């Protein structure tokens, strides 16, 4: 199983001002370019290789990230717009199995990530720091604030960049 669990660190303790919110949003916006840099120079064969048994290929990782960008954007929008909305979970392994990861174009995946983050960031930038305390109820994780959702998706790409680096090292071993 390749499910990801992030700790429940909440930005409620980190975000205390509009400046802190702005910094977090800029980190969020930087993610797709950081991911591009992490795969720079990899060949198609390296991107499709799964050098660590039981782990996804780099292509599968990128498709996974792209699939969950709109999921997180939807969750954040619901928390902003609705009162304590339900937030559905998703099984990354089922997505990987059924959503043609091996056939997907990486440039399209990057375009999706970038567009979703730019769109969502414009909305997030319009909010007060207090609005990041709004919550929804996740089907698996329970109550999550907008701050926590933003923190999780902001750290999603760096988390996977570490895993991509491990793949690169295994390919060069």
**pLDDT mean by block of 10 residues, the chain; 173 residues:** 37 54 95 98 97 96 98 98 96 96 97 98 96 97 97 97 96 90
Answer for the pair 150, 76: CB distance below 8 angstroms, yes or no: yes
Report the largest interatomic distance among the alpha carbons of the chain, rounded to a whole angstrom: 51
Q: pLDDT at position 19, please?
A: 67
Q: pLDDT at position 76, please?
A: 98
Its pTM stands at 0.88
Q: pLDDT at position 4, please?
A: 37
Q: Residue 1 falls within a domain, yes or no?
A: no
- Considering its fold, how many domains does the chain have in total? 1
Q: Residue 77 falls within a domain, yes or no?
A: yes
Q: What are phi and psi of 135, to 5 degrees?
A: -130, 160
Q: pLDDT at position 18, please?
A: 64
Q: Residue 100 falls within a domain, yes or no?
A: yes
Pairing of strands 142-145, 135-138: antiparallel
Domain of residue 59 covers: 11-172
Q: What is the per-residue burial (b if ≥16 Cβ within 10 Å, else e) of 39-64?
A: beebeeebbebebeeeebbbbbbbbb
CA-CA distance, 75 to 89, in Å (whole number)?
10
Q: Residue 84 falls within a domain, yes or no?
A: yes
Q: Residue 3 falls within a domain, yes or no?
A: no
Q: Other C-beta atoms within 10 Å of 103: how many?
A: 8
CATH number of the domain that residue 135 is part of: 1.20.120.450
Q: pLDDT at position 153, please?
A: 97
SS (H, E, C) 152-172: HHHHHHHHHHHHHHHHHHHHH
- Token pair 């933003």 is found at 150
Q: pLDDT at position 173, please?
A: 85
* Triad 53, 55, 60: Cα angle to 5°: 135
Q: pLDDT at position 135, please?
A: 98
Q: Residue 149 falls within a domain, yes or no?
A: yes
């Amino acid at each position: 199983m390749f499910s990801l669990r992030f700790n429940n660190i909440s930005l409620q303790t980190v975000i205390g001002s509009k400046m802190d919110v702005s910094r977090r949003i800029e980190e969020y916006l930087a993610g797709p370019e950081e991911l591009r840099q992490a795969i720079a120079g990899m060949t198609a064969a390296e991107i499709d290789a799964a050098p660590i048994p039981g782990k996804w290929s780099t292509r599968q990782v990128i498709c996974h990230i792209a699939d969950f960008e709109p999921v997180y954007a939807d969750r954040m929008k619901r928390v902003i717009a609705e009162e304590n909305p339900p937030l559905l979970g998703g099984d990354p392994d089922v997505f990987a199995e059924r959503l043609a990861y091996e056939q997907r174009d990486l440039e399209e995946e990057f375009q999706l990530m970038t567009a979703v983050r730019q769109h969502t960031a414009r909305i997030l930038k319009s909010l007060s720091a207090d609005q990041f305390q709004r919550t929804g109820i996740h089907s698996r994780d329970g109550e999550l604030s907008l701050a926590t959702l933003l923190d999780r998706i902001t750290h999603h790409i760096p988390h996977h960049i570490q895993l991509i680096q491990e793949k690169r090292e295994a390919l060069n071993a």
